Structure 1
């Protein structure tokens, strides 16, 4: 008997060694397969998501304001899930691209502050109606975004007020990272150590120590959040 195909989630990564991490694990556990594309390496993005159950666009070291052709192309591509009303999640760079596509601005903090480490967030009233949010989340960014018109703010913070938003019923953007496995965090701490001297950044030991305290709550939230956006793949 032929194995039945599982619905696919378009999974957009931005480096050769990037991984979808726990987001990928959790989507597979929910009955989906991952269709991984890396636009910086020349992978095309589909003209339609008719063959996909949704999409996730992850982060990366580049800026949504960079002049590279793939950045412009990927930002413009956001029209596809929005027009087709397919479930969509943008994480960090992915959220910034979504915000920029919707008319928001992507920019650094006015005083040069970054969020690199563990920082508190607070859910808005709309966010609390959606699900229970963690008190602390893991961040790794030097830019944030303004809230697009007609978007609903779901979570906020001090240095970068726009931490999570929903646009329409199916598109979500989050500034922070819930996808990191322990191995991924160790790699980020090693390869990103040169950023720990930036204003507001935390030393590497605090990244790893904070994980022992707060990651279990972030992991629980991530599972509930993905359930809210993508649900489970239908049994065929």
Structure 2
């Protein structure tokens, strides 16, 4: 059994996670839906991670229909799941929640007030195994315009100022994170040169923010992904 990694767009891949997987000799299989690869059944894997992309969980096409079906099945089988950005929204959508346009787009490292984006872990969830070793609040990178309205199937673990529902949980081992903790310097440069929303911003300022936060950001990403792999029983 190995870890299934689903890419919704080619440039949004495992990043920091890949370094952890290789270091711990964890077998993983990457499926790139953007290049037309077929989505496998989740019951062939020990855990599932779904990354972000420009799609919407509300899209009415075969790709999204199959993705939502796969995620719903994974949750029903209690397969450990982690969704990043779109992968968080598809988790919520698969559980009957509403995905809608957020009041503001969250793009980059800084909010409209000039302060770094961060998520605040709710007090009652500080002891959740996903957050072991993290200090609260946690700075985060954003690249999204939609959000989710939760229902009784979904717990809210962490909140944000401009988009409230930031980290969610379904059951005992399925998580969704609205922002990104996976960025490496190489991946970030690819995003800056190719993502339309990031290209609207000042590249030098984004690079400065990334450099300024580099140690804290990478440590948080490493901790979060390592914690999820422990939850999944892979380390």
Q: Please classify the TM superposition score into its range, dividing by the shorter chain length.
A: 0.7 to 0.9
- Aligned-pair Cα RMSD in Å: 2.1
Report the Cα offset of residue 123 of structure 1: 1.2
Contact 1:117–1:206, Cα closer than 8 Å, also in 2: no
**Aligned to 1:78, what secondary structure does the other structure show?**
helix
Match of 1:204 in 2: 203
Report the Cα offset of residue 115 of structure 1: 0.6
Match of 1:127 in 2: 125
Give deviations 1:59-111, integer Å, cap 9, x for gaps: 0111111222101110121122212211110000111000011111111123x
Match of 1:58 in 2: 51
Q: In terms of mean alpha carbon deviation, does 78-87 or 204-213 score higher?
A: 204-213
Distance 2:168 2:91 in 1: 10
Q: Taking structure 1 as reference, are residues 195 and 48 closer, same or farther at Cα in structure 2, changes over 3 Å only?
A: closer
Contact 2:16–2:184, Cα closer than 8 Å, also in 1: yes
Report the Cα offset of residue 194 of structure 1: 4.8
Runs of 4+ in 1 over 3 A off after TM superposition: 193-197
Which among 18, 39, 42 is matched to residue 45 of structure 1?
39
Q: In terms of mean alpha carbon deviation, does 211-220 or 80-89 score higher?
A: 211-220
Q: Taking structure 1 as reference, are residues 101 and 193 closer, same or farther at Cα in structure 2, changes over 3 Å only?
A: closer
Distance 2:71 2:35 in 1: 19
Distance 2:71 2:151 in 1: 14
Q: In terms of mean alpha carbon deviation, does 146-155 or 38-47 score higher?
A: 38-47
Which among 75, 87, 107 is matched to residue 116 of structure 1?
107
Distance 1:170 1:194 in 2: 32
Q: TM-score, normalised by structure 1?
A: 0.84
Contact 1:126–1:153, Cα closer than 8 Å, also in 2: no
Match of 1:141 in 2: 144
Match of 2:179 in 1: 176
Report the Cα offset of residue 182 of structure 1: 0.3
**Is 1:215 aligned to residue 214 of structure 2?**
yes
Contact 1:28–1:34, Cα closer than 8 Å, also in 2: no
**Aligned to 1:208, what secondary structure does the other structure show?**
helix
Q: TM-score, normalised by structure 2?
A: 0.85
Residue ranges of structure 1 left out of the alignment (5+ in a row) = 1-6
Residue ranges of structure 2 left out of the alignment (5+ in a row) = 110-116
Q: In terms of mean alpha carbon deviation, does 180-189 or 121-130 score higher?
A: 121-130
Report the Cα offset of residue 15 of structure 1: 2.5
